[in-house]
Amino acid sequence: MNPQIMIVTVMAAASVAFFGFLAYRIRARSSDMDLLSVPPLEDNSTLDEDLKDILAFVPMKEVQEIIKRYMQYDAQIGDTVSFVNDQQRFIMREFQKMPEAGKLIAFLRKNGLNVDSWQEKIHCFWKTSPRFVKCDPSVAAGGLTVMINKILETVPLDELHELLRQKVKYSASFRRFLHVLRSKDFHEFCNALETNDVLHHHYFWAKEGGLEITFAIELFNELYVYLTQTLVA
């Protein structure tokens, strides 16, 4: 399976969600563990394999068509794409300066995620993705919120939930990833995002530009709670 299609699924949301994340301090308390105390791998699983298994539940062609329509004919998504194109090099520069980000990326590499490959897929998608043509509510309307809801309607969520439950039981790499989300290192990374002046300015520029910051914050909140609480209950 080509994971680039999944990148298409989330990129329009991710650009807005990223800025929402800067304004959001994760409410769940972190555990006392850090990355050095995360349990070692107990099998030959990798995060790349886990991710490919998850992507198998996404109806790629349907999702691709939804995103293509919204990128071309929804004004809000068009504004989001333009914002990312204008600001991405400044944002990435700040990430590269963060030791907290480097520490997490190194852990993901060690846990079997091909970071370089995913980065290249994102870069290729962004260069070749369709651009805004004109506002046409008869083709696409409602911005990020409606687009994400339409995508979710195509995904068999109950079956996906069951797969993730099985991953918690049988994939050591996936369990390690969940431990990372509750670690002090991850929360230090979140704090570094919040206190970075340059990224803080970008967040306010995105908000002033009418991007869906509130929805993005809720999206990250729900995903974090699902992965760290609901899924492992």
The predicted-structure confidence for 56-82, as pLDDT tens digits, reads as follows 888 888 988 998 899 999 999 988 888
Q: Please give the C-alpha separations between residue 96 and each of 86, 100, 102, in angstroms, as whole numbers.
A: 18, 10, 7
- Round the average pLDDT of the chain to a whole number and report it: 78
pLDDT(4) > 70: no
Residue 229 per-residue DSSP state: I
Collapse the DSSP code of 3 into the 3-class scheme (helix H, G, I; strand E, B; otherwise coil) and give the result. Answer: coil
Reduced 3-state DSSP string for 124-184? HHHHHCCCCCCCCCCCCCCHHHHHHHHHHHHCCHHHHHHHHHHHHHHCHHHHHHHHHHCCH
pLDDT(189) > 90: no
Range name among 21-25, 73-77, 155-159, 194-198 with the lowest pLDDT average: 21-25
User: Residue 12's pLDDT is what?
Assistant: 34
Domain that holds residue 156: 4-230
The answer, as to whether pTM is greater than 0.85, is no
The predicted-structure confidence for 178-188, as pLDDT tens digits, reads as follows 888 888 888 88
Mean pLDDT for 221-231 is: 85
The predicted-structure confidence for 114-172, as pLDDT tens digits, reads as follows 888 877 877 777 778 888 999 999 999 999 889 988 998 998 888 989 999 999 999 99
pLDDT(30) > 60: no
pLDDT(199) > 60: yes
Task: Give backbone dihedrals phi and psi of 133, rounded to 5 degrees, phi first.
Answer: -100, -60
Give how many domains the chain has, as a whole number.
1
